[in-house]
Chains A and B, each alone.
Chain A
């Protein structure tokens, strides 16, 4: 395990805006928890029903055949195989159909061929699912293809699909946001956060395309903060916590330059985006990339406005060198050392 911990969290008084953003996210998360669970239970009830998924898959295959220009080659091939009777393809299309806004909007009104009883029941269920979505926080605040207006471009940032999603994003927000805020100010953090979220949404719509499944989460916005942090501390060592084996000799801190950290983030997002099949959904890497692009723009703007030359943060005298590794065993050893100078220097 290896995760960035920088210098830990700064208190509310040092980073009030970061903490406020966190609190808003937490409030939305906890307020939406019960409605999310309730609505999701209703939706899962139908989406787990193989009969419903099969019917939906067959209708989606028929629909793709009717509007081939709207769909990718992969979807067209899948539809063709489903129409030929391959059951696994029918099921796959049935699961993917729920993401397709055009299908859900138009298919319920189209005269479709096949078992009319099943089609009638499917239409009823789709209506129930749509009604349920109207009270599902992820759909109410998330960005979907059917949304008009810009309000969802902001609101989607504050919604998360579950505890892991929320905790992951908030960890990085607090770690990087609270370090950045004393340097660039609370307003700048808020602007970068929101701008990264908005550009992330734009990038997502541009690269991946909107779907009936909502875009949610602060990861695009947080990516912006992370990249801006790395731009600011370009060569400074960023502290990571590692634990390779459960022994104090193999647990400790590792210091990597900020530019390497940024490269890792950006590369992993590029790789993620590259390796994702848009039709299947998943992590919105394109939104991450949007956030990163936004912070590059903001970083360049700050540089042009405030600095004449690239900002370089000079490491403090006691800051460990890049690539330095300090295990907990070393730390304990140094803490026990009778030499006070050595003991002071060992603090990181």
Chain B
């Protein structure tokens, strides 16, 4: 110990500089040179995902580095008293007892300790800043110390310096434990997953190509087991895409399989590519052209004119294209046809088409949802409610949100008391459970309506619905609601009008904007301007907003306008018996008995419950009006 006290302890910064020289100037270049033959192997095995070869090469490299560093440190110390870096900075390794050059054994142990410390992220080496004699792990193991031949000796580290380094040790230990814990958990999970996978796949370890899982599931569910070739998979994928149950990515995977992996050109594959690239009009059209080039008379080729007409909203073109397609079209064509009919508000035709499609497991839930909507459109509300309530629990979460949102929204449009309906209950439940609920536009509209409570909602609630993912159209709509709640009715109506006029606004929101523009009209002038806007609407939008318009006219007691409007809708073939009932009741109550009688006679055959009340308990407004009218006008 007295010798140790007399020794000129090397400055820690000198040792750090020496280590920099050893690593950067000597060892790294040598390793780079020695590892060159392995590097190519390593790169090749990495590129080819050859894990065993990669691990072997990396292990070989690590061994070379470890053994090389160990020999370098040990032998340099034994023969010259220190590594090249130490020699450059006038440092020497000496035995702690004799103060002379250490023996070979001690040098080898010191070299081993040095490597061990380096492998532990050099943390043990930090003892040169904390140990009272500035001896890190390797010096303690070999009973050595480092002295300086050039500079004066440095003293023991300051207590603050030592405490700081001990803090680093503690932090390092905590990180190591944390990493080990996480790694342990991950390894356990991986092993479990692999075991599960092995159970599912048996002993097969064949690499499956990237295909759409949803299509695979649908193919497995198909009755009698469909032939699982590329073309039939593509047919299923196209049907599911048409139904909106899979996205473009799924379709892309299936097309890739047919076009790229199997290298089979087909018109169907090109049509699918046109859908995949629907956001790039030029490319999409090029695929449609290619489809007709490959198979000029095929169904897929005829479909191209259908898609073109659809994209440019040419109803006649769509009709002609649908007629040109074979008598027994593919499932996905049938689905597009139903969607087209729904878009036009031709609910009866849509229902007929849906019923003729038979059982289709791949798109069963979609067909169910469409049936509910078509029945509702046809004012078979009871049946629609029943089917919807039955269906809703069996759907997958996205489809469930879609249907529940739609049902709730439509119910709320009929009555503010519809919060208790099955659709609204599901939506209210999902509001608490699903963070992404508002990403489904129709569900977002239902939530808006629920919050609005027919104009009685809180004035400050709506902005909460806006998130980073909210689309600009939805944002404008929410702002309109907010403006209205804050009493800025003009601003609210203006926002709605702009939303309606914007071509980029999605149909669902456009529909809602028009409906709110109508339902938020509180004066005859406002209603007249709403009617002007309504005249530009077509298809389903025209029907929905038209019904709202009639309702508003009736609410304002403008019976004449309501009748005129109904006549217009009637000439479009867009009215139904429910409206005739409401209109008659309103007409009678406003004293227009003769007009009410005329409507009753005209719609007599189509009216439900026209046979009169079956019991006193079932007497409603309509029945009372019918009885009163009959009493008044059927007098002998």
Residues of A within 8 A of B (CB): 2, 58, 74, 77-78, 81, 83-85, 87, 92, 113-117, 120-121, 242, 244-245, 247, 249-250, 254, 264, 267-268, 270-277, 280, 323, 325
Whether B40 and A245, one on each chain, are in contact in the complex, defined by CB atoms closer than 8 angstroms, is no
Whether B36 and A117, one on each chain, are in contact in the complex, defined by CB atoms closer than 8 angstroms, is no
With A and B bound together, what is the CA distance between A267 and B32 in angstroms? Answer: 9
Whether A275 and B37, one on each chain, are in contact in the complex, defined by CB atoms closer than 8 angstroms, is yes
| A85 CB to nearest B CB, Å | 4
Query: Which of A77, A92, A268 sits near B33, CB closer than 8 Å?
Result: A268
Whether B13 and A250, one on each chain, are in contact in the complex, defined by CB atoms closer than 8 angstroms, is yes
Whether B21 and A244, one on each chain, are in contact in the complex, defined by CB atoms closer than 8 angstroms, is yes
Whether A275 and B44, one on each chain, are in contact in the complex, defined by CB atoms closer than 8 angstroms, is no
Query: Which of B25, B257, B261, B270 sits near A117, CB closer than 8 Å?
Result: B270
With A and B bound together, what is the CA distance between A115 and B16 in angstroms? Answer: 61
18 A-B pairs whose Cβ atoms sit less than 8 Å apart in the complex: A2-B24, A74-B44, A113-B263, A113-B265, A114-B259, A114-B265, A115-B260, A115-B265, A115-B270, A117-B287, A120-B286, A245-B17, A268-B29, A271-B33, A271-B35, A273-B36, A275-B37, A277-B44
Q: Counting chain B CB atoms within 10 Å of each CB, which of A81, A268, A271 scores highest?
A: A271
Query: Which of B13, B35, B39, B257 sits near A245, CB closer than 8 Å?
Result: B13
Whether A117 and B290, one on each chain, are in contact in the complex, defined by CB atoms closer than 8 angstroms, is yes
- Closest-by-CB residue of B relative to A116 is B290
| B276 CB to nearest A CB, Å | 11
Known: A77-B48, A85-B209, A113-B263. Contact between A244 and B17, CB under 8 A?
yes
With A and B bound together, what is the CA distance between A325 and B256 in angstroms? Answer: 64
With A and B bound together, what is the CA distance between A81 and B17 in angstroms? Answer: 49
With A and B bound together, what is the CA distance between A289 and B82 in angstroms? Answer: 35
Whether A117 and B283, one on each chain, are in contact in the complex, defined by CB atoms closer than 8 angstroms, is yes
- The verdict on B47 contacting chain A, using a C-beta distance below 8 Å, is yes
Whether A268 and B32, one on each chain, are in contact in the complex, defined by CB atoms closer than 8 angstroms, is yes
Whether B13 and A115, one on each chain, are in contact in the complex, defined by CB atoms closer than 8 angstroms, is no
Main secondary structure on chain A at its contact with chain B? helix
| B526 CB to nearest A CB, Å | 50
- Cβ–Cβ < 8 Å partners of B13 in chain A: 245, 247, 249-250
- The verdict on B149 contacting chain A, using a C-beta distance below 8 Å, is no
Please provide the 4 A-B residue pairs with the shortest distance between their CB atoms, ordered closest to farther: A275-B39, A271-B36, A274-B36, A113-B263
With A and B bound together, what is the CA distance between A81 and B354 in angstroms? Answer: 44
- Cβ–Cβ < 8 Å partners of B48 in chain A: 74, 77-78, 81
- The verdict on B88 contacting chain A, using a C-beta distance below 8 Å, is yes
Whether A84 and B207, one on each chain, are in contact in the complex, defined by CB atoms closer than 8 angstroms, is yes
With A and B bound together, what is the CA distance between A83 and B207 in angstroms? Answer: 13
- Closest-by-CB residue of A relative to B38 is A275
Main secondary structure on chain B at its contact with chain A? helix
| B447 CB to nearest A CB, Å | 37
- Cβ–Cβ < 8 Å partners of B290 in chain A: 116-117
Query: Which of B21, B40, B47 sits near A276, CB closer than 8 Å?
Result: B40
- Closest-by-CB residue of A relative to B35 is A275
- The verdict on B273 contacting chain A, using a C-beta distance below 8 Å, is yes
Q: Residues of B within 8 Å of A, CB-based: how many?
A: 41
- Cβ–Cβ < 8 Å partners of B454 in chain A: none
With A and B bound together, what is the CA distance between A242 and B25 in angstroms? Answer: 10
With A and B bound together, what is the CA distance between A270 and B33 in angstroms? Answer: 8
| B392 CB to nearest A CB, Å | 38
Query: Which of B29, B37, B47 sits near A264, CB closer than 8 Å?
Result: B29
Known: A77-B48, A84-B209, A271-B36. Contact between A115 and B20, CB under 8 A?
no
Whether B40 and A274, one on each chain, are in contact in the complex, defined by CB atoms closer than 8 angstroms, is yes
Known: A245-B13, A271-B33. Contact between A87 and B39, CB under 8 A?
no
| A327 CB to nearest B CB, Å | 9
- The verdict on B210 contacting chain A, using a C-beta distance below 8 Å, is yes
Whether A245 and B16, one on each chain, are in contact in the complex, defined by CB atoms closer than 8 angstroms, is yes
Query: Which of B17, B25, B40, B261 sits near A85, CB closer than 8 Å?
Result: B261
- Cβ–Cβ < 8 Å partners of A280 in chain B: 43
| A279 CB to nearest B CB, Å | 9
With A and B bound together, what is the CA distance between A113 and B263 in angstroms? Answer: 6
With A and B bound together, what is the CA distance between A74 and B46 in angstroms? Answer: 11
Whether B29 and A116, one on each chain, are in contact in the complex, defined by CB atoms closer than 8 angstroms, is no
With A and B bound together, what is the CA distance between A267 and B35 in angstroms? Answer: 12
Query: Which of A254, A276, A277 sits near B88, CB closer than 8 Å?
Result: A254
With A and B bound together, what is the CA distance between A58 and B270 in angstroms? Answer: 17
Q: Counting chain A CB atoms within 10 Å of each CB, which of B20, B47, B89, B265 scores highest?
A: B47
Whether B256 and A85, one on each chain, are in contact in the complex, defined by CB atoms closer than 8 angstroms, is yes
| A109 CB to nearest B CB, Å | 19
Whether A85 and B35, one on each chain, are in contact in the complex, defined by CB atoms closer than 8 angstroms, is no
Known: A244-B17, A249-B13. Contact between A58 and B260, CB under 8 A?
yes
Whether B44 and A271, one on each chain, are in contact in the complex, defined by CB atoms closer than 8 angstroms, is no
Q: Counting chain B CB atoms within 10 Å of each CB, which of A84, A92, A116, A325 scores highest?
A: A116
- Closest-by-CB residue of B relative to A251 is B17
Whether B261 and A84, one on each chain, are in contact in the complex, defined by CB atoms closer than 8 angstroms, is yes
Query: Which of B20, B32, B207, B287 sits near A271, CB closer than 8 Å?
Result: B32
Whether B33 and A325, one on each chain, are in contact in the complex, defined by CB atoms closer than 8 angstroms, is no
Whether A116 and B261, one on each chain, are in contact in the complex, defined by CB atoms closer than 8 angstroms, is no
6 further contact pairs, Cβ within 8 A, besides A84-B209, A244-B17, A271-B32: A115-B260, A115-B270, A249-B13, A249-B17, A273-B36, A277-B40
Whether B286 and A117, one on each chain, are in contact in the complex, defined by CB atoms closer than 8 angstroms, is yes
- Closest-by-CB residue of A relative to B30 is A267
With A and B bound together, what is the CA distance between A277 and B45 in angstroms? Answer: 12
| B36 CB to nearest A CB, Å | 4
With A and B bound together, what is the CA distance between A121 and B35 in angstroms? Answer: 43
Whether A83 and B39, one on each chain, are in contact in the complex, defined by CB atoms closer than 8 angstroms, is no
| B37 CB to nearest A CB, Å | 6
- Cβ–Cβ < 8 Å partners of A275 in chain B: 35-40, 43
- Cβ–Cβ < 8 Å partners of B270 in chain A: 115, 117
| A117 CB to nearest B CB, Å | 5
- Cβ–Cβ < 8 Å partners of B207 in chain A: 84
Whether B210 and A85, one on each chain, are in contact in the complex, defined by CB atoms closer than 8 angstroms, is yes
- Closest-by-CB residue of B relative to A278 is B40
- Cβ–Cβ < 8 Å partners of B44 in chain A: 74, 277
- Cβ–Cβ < 8 Å partners of B88 in chain A: 254, 323, 325
| B317 CB to nearest A CB, Å | 23
With A and B bound together, what is the CA distance between A254 and B270 in angstroms? Answer: 68
- Cβ–Cβ < 8 Å partners of B273 in chain A: 115, 117
- Closest-by-CB residue of A relative to B255 is A115
- Closest-by-CB residue of B relative to A73 is B44
With A and B bound together, what is the CA distance between A39 and B455 in angstroms? Answer: 60
- Closest-by-CB residue of A relative to B151 is A249
| B551 CB to nearest A CB, Å | 50
B490-510 interface mask toward A, CB cutoff 8 Å, 1 = contact, 0 = none?
000000000000000000000
Residues of chain B from 359 to 397 with CB closer than 8 A to chain A in the complex: none
| B252 CB to nearest A CB, Å | 11
Known: A78-B48, A85-B256, A87-B210. Contact between A274 and B37, CB under 8 A?
yes
With A and B bound together, what is the CA distance between A85 and B210 in angstroms? Answer: 7
With A and B bound together, what is the CA distance between A276 and B40 in angstroms? Answer: 6
- Cβ–Cβ < 8 Å partners of B21 in chain A: 242, 244
- Cβ–Cβ < 8 Å partners of B35 in chain A: 271, 275
With A and B bound together, what is the CA distance between A58 and B259 in angstroms? Answer: 11
- Cβ–Cβ < 8 Å partners of A270 in chain B: 33, 36
Residues of chain B from 42 to 64 with CB closer than 8 A to chain A in the complex: 43-44, 47-48
With A and B bound together, what is the CA distance between A202 and B411 in angstroms? Answer: 81
